[in-house]
Amino acid sequence: MSIPQNRVFSGVQPTGNLHLGNYLGAITRFVELQKDFECIYCVVDLHAITVWQDPDTLSANTREVTAAFIASGIDPEKHIIFNQSRVPAHAELAWIFNCVARMGWLNRMTQFKEKAGKHRENASVGLFSYPNLMAADILAYRATHVPVGEDQKQHLELTRDIAQKFNTDFADSISKNGFGDGYFPLTEPLIQGTATRVMSLRDGSAKMSKSEASDYSRINLTDDADTIALKIRKARTDAEPLPSEMKGLEGRTEAENLVRIFAALGDRDLDDVLGEYGGSQFSTFKQALADLAVARLAPITEEMQRLCADPGHIDAVLSNGAARANAIAAPVLADIKQIMGLLHD
Residue nearest to ligand AMP as judged by C-beta position: 25
Scanning 6-14, 62-70, 174-182, 335-343 for contacts with ligand TRP by CB under 6 A, the matching segment is 6-14
Residues 116-175 that bind ligand AMP (CB under 6 A): 148-149, 151-152
20: left (phi over 0), alpha (psi -120 to 50) or beta: alpha
> Which of 148, 273 has the CB closer to ligand TRP?
148
Cβ-based neighbour number of residue 111 at 10 Å: 14
Cα distance between residue 261 and residue 284, in whole Å:
15
Calculate helix-pair angle for 225-234, 282-308, nearest 10 degrees: 150
Q: In terms of DSSP bridges, do strands 38-43 and 145-147 run parallel, antiparallel, or are they unpaired?
A: unpaired
Residue nearest to ligand TRP as judged by C-beta position: 11
- Work out what residue 196 binds among ligand TRP, ligand AMP, none; the CB cut-off runs from 5 to 8 Å by kind: ligand AMP
- In the set 35, 78, 113, 115, the catalytic residue is 115
Establish whether 210 is a catalytic residue: yes
Cα distance between residue 130 and residue 116, in whole Å:
12
Q: Which amino acid is at 225?
A: A
Smallest distance, ligand AMP to C-beta of residue 281, A: 26
Q: x/- contact string, 10-49, with ligand AMP (CB under 6 A)?
A: --xx-------xx--xx-----------------------
Exposure string over 260-291, b if 16+ CB within 10 A, otherwise e: bbbbbbbeeebeebbebbeebebeebbebbbe
Query: Among 19, 29, 47, 260, which residue sits at the site for ligand TRP (rule: CB under 6 A)?
Result: 47
Binding residue count for ligand TRP, defined by CB under 6 A: 13
Residues 131-150 that bind ligand TRP (CB under 6 A): 134, 137-138, 146, 148
Establish whether 115 is a catalytic residue: yes
Smallest distance, ligand AMP to C-beta of residue 16, A: 9
> Which of 179, 223 has the CB closer to ligand AMP?
223
Residue 115 is a binding residue for ligand AMP (CB under 6 A): no
Establish whether 247 is a catalytic residue: no
Q: In terms of DSSP bridges, do strands 80-83 and 38-43 run parallel, antiparallel, or are they unpaired?
A: parallel
Beta bridge partners of 11: 42
Residue 86 is a binding residue for ligand AMP (CB under 6 A): no
Residue 11 is a binding residue for ligand TRP (CB under 6 A): yes
Calculate helix-pair angle for 125-139, 153-169, nearest 10 degrees: 70
Cβ-based neighbour number of residue 108 at 10 Å: 12
Cα distance between residue 14 and residue 18, in whole Å:
8
- Work out what residue 25 binds among ligand AMP, ligand TRP, none; the CB cut-off runs from 5 to 8 Å by kind: ligand AMP
> Which of 159, 237 has the CB closer to ligand TRP?
159
Cα distance between residue 150 and residue 199, in whole Å:
11
- Work out what residue 134 binds among ligand AMP, ligand TRP, none; the CB cut-off runs from 5 to 8 Å by kind: ligand TRP
Query: Among 79, 160, 207, 296, which residue sits at the site for ligand AMP (rule: CB under 6 A)?
Result: 207
SS3 for 42? strand
Residue 40 is a binding residue for ligand TRP (CB under 6 A): no
CA distances from 22 to 121, 126, 335 (A): 30, 23, 34
Show which residues are catalytic: 115, 207, 210
Residues that bind ligand AMP (CB under 6 A): 12-13, 21-22, 25-26, 148-149, 151-152, 196-198, 207-208, 210
